[in-house]
Amino acid sequence: MPRVAVYDMDGNVVEEMDLSQEVFGVEADTGLLHQVVRMYLANQRQGTADTKTRSEVSGGGRKPWRQKGTGRARQGSIRSPLWRHGGIVFGPHPRDYSFRIPKKAVRVALRGALSAKVRDGEFKVLRDLSLAEPKTKLMYGVLQKLKLGDKALIVTALPDRTVWLGARNIPGVTVVDAGSLNTLDVLKHSYVVATKEAVKKIEEALKP
């Protein structure tokens, strides 16, 4: 059973905590992680890129020159793809890039990502996290005392606007609540910092 230290907001170890073996002690399936990350990234794509075909480009209603007798190649429209400012043949058009993976597989991937963070010593637990004011300076001070890297994912039990406002201007730092935790956020941050209450919620949600 994984065991981690619990810190206070001053960076001091105040106790130790046992984590669920079924959630934080499993082997990561790299192939599944890749699929889930692809899904999250694909679902974020707007898919609004568009180009005009020859039928959509304005102009070109008149034949540029007569069919025969000029010595030039026959042309029917100045909006042909062969012409400058003409239509695009195989350009992009609006489309939906999203796809879905079964919810059970998504949860398996998240368990694997969290377990990898715990094994690598990149998962830290806070006894609690509360800011007197929504100020970046206060949040930055907490992160400095915990000796975190450039990228940290802060996980709270419930949406906390004060913490979110305090961290939103710090580059590389993201705040999510336990219910919004996902594999992509876990993998793209160097450290995951969760409150004790958030850990309990994560275990309840991800327990097989």
Q: How far apart are CA 41 and CA 36, in angstroms?
A: 9
Whether 157 and 194 map to the same domain: the answer is yes
Total structural domains within the chain: 2
Whether 194 and 112 map to the same domain: the answer is yes
Handedness of CA 167, 168, 170, 171 (dihedral sign): positive
Whether 140 and 52 map to the same domain: the answer is no
Whether 185 and 132 map to the same domain: the answer is yes
Regarding beta strands 173-177 and 123-126, do their DSSP bridges make them parallel or antiparallel, or are they unpaired?
unpaired
Percent of the chain at pLDDT exceeding 90: 87
Q: What is the pLDDT of residues 113-135, one digit of tens each?
A: 999 999 999 999 999 998 889 99
Whether 88 and 162 map to the same domain: the answer is no
Could you tell me the residue range of the domain that residue 17 belongs to? 3-45+102-206
Of 43, 29, 40, the residue nearest 188 (C-alpha): 40
**CATH assignment at residue 188:** 3.40.1370.10
Q: What is the mean pLDDT of residues 54-82?
A: 93
Whether 87 and 163 map to the same domain: the answer is no
